[in-house]
Amino acid sequence: MSENAVKILIVEDEREVAGHMRRLLERNGYIAFTAHTMAEGLEKFEQEKPDLCVVDVFLTMTLSESGIDFLRAALKTGRKFKSLVISGRCDEFLKEDIEALPINLFLEKPIEPGQLLDAIKKVLAAE
């Protein structure tokens, strides 16, 4: 893999889903990292300096932390990155929270592998 490969951080609490996404991205030439909690995500965000964050909205069953919270904290760092937000359920209140953030794209689960790759290419190509 080249040094110029795009770094992608996947913040997804479902370990199996995160693992599938990571392997898919790595097979397609990306450098991918996974995090399963907001704290782990922020730690890897600081360490790895990803170009793109793929973030699930709901990170715990208790809803004590969310992908939206992760994005808000990551944005406060001042680092520039692109974001792709995913969710299996999204009500109007949640859509308002998402639309208030400078995200690049939102996808509803389930997401097919080709759909994820196309979305990532679209986000990375956007100015």
Three-state DSSP class for residue 103: coil
pLDDT > 50? residue 47 = yes
Architecture of domain 7-125: 3-Layer(aba) Sandwich (3.40)
Of the pLDDT bands very low, low, confident and very high (cuts 50, 70, 90), residue 1 is very low
Average pLDDT, the chain: 90
The Cα-based distances of 19 to 35, 43, 69 in angstroms read 10, 18, 22
Percentage of the chain modeled with pLDDT above 90: 70
Residue 48, judged by CB atoms within 10 A of its CB (0-12, 13-18, 19+), counts as middle
Domain residue ranges of the chain, discontinuous segments joined by +? 7-125
Identify the top-confidence range among 4-8, 29-33, 61-65: 29-33
Q: How far apart are CA 88 and CA 52, in angstroms?
A: 20
Of the pLDDT bands very low, low, confident and very high (cuts 50, 70, 90), residue 111 is very high
Contact 53, 83 (CB under 8 A): yes
Is the pTM value of this prediction over 0.95?
A: no
Of the pLDDT bands very low, low, confident and very high (cuts 50, 70, 90), residue 61 is low
Of the pLDDT bands very low, low, confident and very high (cuts 50, 70, 90), residue 2 is very low
Q: Kindly write down the DSSP assignment for every residue of 33-68, as one continuous string.
A: EEESSHHHHHHHHHHH--SEEEEESB-STT-SSBHH
